[in-house]
Amino acid sequence: MSNISGLHISGTTRNGKGNRRTLINPATGLAVAEVSEASIDDAHESVAAARGAFPMWSGKTAGERSRILLRLADLIELHGEELTHMEVSDSGKPFATFLEGEIPFAVDNLRFFAGAARSLDGTGAGILSAGYTSMLIRRPIGVIASIAPWNFPLIMAIWKMGPALAAGNTVVLKPAPTTPQTSLRMAELAMEAGMPAGVFNVITGGSEIGQALVTSKDVNMISLTGSAATGEHIMKEAAKGTKRVHLELGGKAPAIVFADADINAMAQALIMGSTYNTGQDCTAATRVYVERSRYADAVDALVATGAKVKWGDPMARDSDIGPLISTDHRDRVHGFVTRAVAAGAKIKLGGQVPDGPGAYYPPTVLVDMDQKSEIVQGEVFGPVLAVLPFDGESSAIEHANDSAFGLASSVWTTDVSRALRVSHQLEVGVTWINDHLPIASEAPHGGVKGSGFGKDMSQESLTEYSVTRHIMIKHAETIANDSFRPA
């Protein structure tokens, strides 16, 4: 079993002095490597390194920072296969999907952040008070503690370090304990790209190491993508030092399907939307509300399409989806399904734990649930779709909004006015019309309500990681004419 050095601090990769964690390949259940994780002292050292590098990095021009990030994007592209092997081993994602989908997307994200860095400054100048000239400029915040989840390890790392570094901050990134490999490798590639030591640090470990970052006096902002419970905890901790927080938390995306929708196109997109990444996606389609007159057709189409999804070995070219992240997580997902059935739901597809090794779980479609039931309200984070009928537009909107979360949604209709009218009333960060899931580097991603606040991607993400400063210059004649001159 190989050893993975679990720290990248001040430009050097080395072993941490904390736990030794065994990484398990979720597709096989076999141990593949051991990580020497950070100790609390290592966490403090990483923050000190980021603090030390801040004056230098924030003093660089946006163009200089941008060039380094662009070189890093090129290196990620060049090392795509190597990174894919790491991510597949840690997370069980299908090899082809990651190499051909997530790597190019991550590279595009980083290139966007690099470009956006160069249009962050110069938000305004003017005479706002007689005799003065004011300038509004954006400046970085300082040291950012970035805490990432396991579902999209490389993309989440880039969504966090990309805009933060582009805006002139320095970063300590803590990936999820089970999926550290691509983040650690990216830190090495950043050095190769010319990133100065200390600017981008990666430390590995679990919640106690995250906690050490969150409570460090030298951290100015905490950026978390993770569960709602962790988000609430971090917000409380951050209050103690009045630290900024950026929280991308869970989701429970509804899809509203009107009778005039193209049912086959809907089934294709919502099965893709509920099973991509084996449903471990905060924007995944999870609750489908179908206008009653087309409900039976919609259920049939979803079941027929879901049955065609090929789940299995991530290395097989024809696998659409791989396993869940772990057998523990599979137990959690199956627990939701079992309790739903006990409460009266019927399984139309899947819903059984397959025999054999690996944390596999098949696409699952459930019907006959109550709006208030756990399966309709809770975040399952697996390939499980709950399909419910509705009568009338206002009832569909009410049910869609009846959730603690507010991240993503979709509306299915050929009536443009209705699509817009309904979209405007949904309490979410994104609404797709006649699709579910696509995202773009230029478009902000983030939620409302229990899904957190703060935007990833787009120019708005750089705004998140910077503050507006007001510089006010008193004109010489204003000084000369000052009437208040105490002796």
Q: With contact defined as beta carbons under 8 Å apart, do 35 and 80 qualify?
A: no
The yes or no reply on residue 230 touching ligand NAD (CB under 6 A) is: yes
Residue 248 is among the residues annotated as catalytic for this protein = yes
Based on CB atoms, which residue is closest to ligand NAD, 171 or 266? 171
Q: State which of positions 158-177 bind ligand NAD (CB under 6 A).
A: 174, 176-177
- Which one of 79-87, 245-253, 343-351, 354-362 is the stretch in contact with ligand NAD (CB under 6 A)? 245-253
For residues 324 and 309, give the distance between their C-alpha atoms in angstroms, rounded to a whole number: 15
For residues 316 and 95, give the distance between their C-alpha atoms in angstroms, rounded to a whole number: 8
The yes or no reply on residue 407 touching ligand NAD (CB under 6 A) is: yes
Based on CB atoms, which residue is closest to ligand NAD, 358 or 447? 447
- Which one of 45-53, 81-89, 228-236, 432-440 is the stretch in contact with ligand NAD (CB under 6 A)? 228-236
Residue nearest ligand NAD (C-beta atom): 210
Which stretch of DSSP H or E encloses residue 7?
Answer: strand 7-9
For residues 224 and 270, give the distance between their C-alpha atoms in angstroms, rounded to a whole number: 27
Q: With contact defined as beta carbons under 8 Å apart, do 258 and 418 qualify?
A: yes
For residues 358 and 294, give the distance between their C-alpha atoms in angstroms, rounded to a whole number: 37
Strand boundaries in 48-206, DSSP class E: 124-126, 132-140, 143-147, 170-174, 200-203
Residue 379 is among the residues annotated as catalytic for this protein = no
Q: How far is the CB of 213 from ligand NAD (least distance, A)?
A: 7
For residues 96 and 316, give the distance between their C-alpha atoms in angstroms, rounded to a whole number: 8
Residues 6+ apart with CB under 8 A from 287: 252, 253, 254, 255, 376, 385, 386, 388, 399, 400, 403
Q: Which of 282, 340, 345, 386 binds ligand NAD (CB under 6 A)?
A: 282
Based on CB atoms, which residue is closest to ligand NAD, 339 or 449? 449
Q: What share of the chain is helix, strand, coil (3-state, %, to 5)?
A: 45, 20, 35
- Which one of 221-229, 368-376, 388-396, 420-428 is the stretch in contact with ligand NAD (CB under 6 A)? 221-229
Q: Which of 46, 216, 225, 364 binds ligand NAD (CB under 6 A)?
A: 225
The yes or no reply on residue 226 touching ligand NAD (CB under 6 A) is: yes
Query: Which residue in the list 37, 87, 248, 379 is annotated as catalytic?
Result: 248
Q: With contact defined as beta carbons under 8 Å apart, do 241 and 216 qualify?
A: no
One-letter identity of residue 267: A
- Which one of 45-53, 223-231, 385-393, 420-428 is the stretch in contact with ligand NAD (CB under 6 A)? 223-231
Q: How far is the CB of 434 from ligand NAD (least distance, A)?
A: 23
Q: With contact defined as beta carbons under 8 Å apart, do 179 and 153 qualify?
A: yes
Based on CB atoms, which residue is closest to ligand NAD, 211 or 371? 211
Based on CB atoms, which residue is closest to ligand NAD, 157 or 263? 157
DSSP-assigned states of every residue in 211-241: HHHHH-TT--EEEEES-HHHHHHHHHHHHHT
- Which one of 10-18, 105-113, 145-153, 160-168 is the stretch in contact with ligand NAD (CB under 6 A)? 145-153
Q: State which of positions 445-484 bind ligand NAD (CB under 6 A).
A: 447, 451
Pattern 353-392, ligand NAD, x by CB under 6 A:
--------------------------x-x-----------
For residues 256 and 303, give the distance between their C-alpha atoms in angstroms, rounded to a whole number: 17
Residues 6+ apart with CB under 8 A from 233: none
The yes or no reply on residue 432 touching ligand NAD (CB under 6 A) is: no
Q: Which of 5, 58, 207, 371 binds ligand NAD (CB under 6 A)?
A: 207
Q: Other CB atoms closer than 10 Å to residue 187's CB: what's the count? A: 26
Residues making contact with ligand NAD (CB under 6 A): 147-151, 174, 176-177, 206-207, 210-211, 214, 224-227, 230, 233-234, 248-251, 282, 379, 381, 407, 447, 451
Catalytic residue numbers? 248, 282
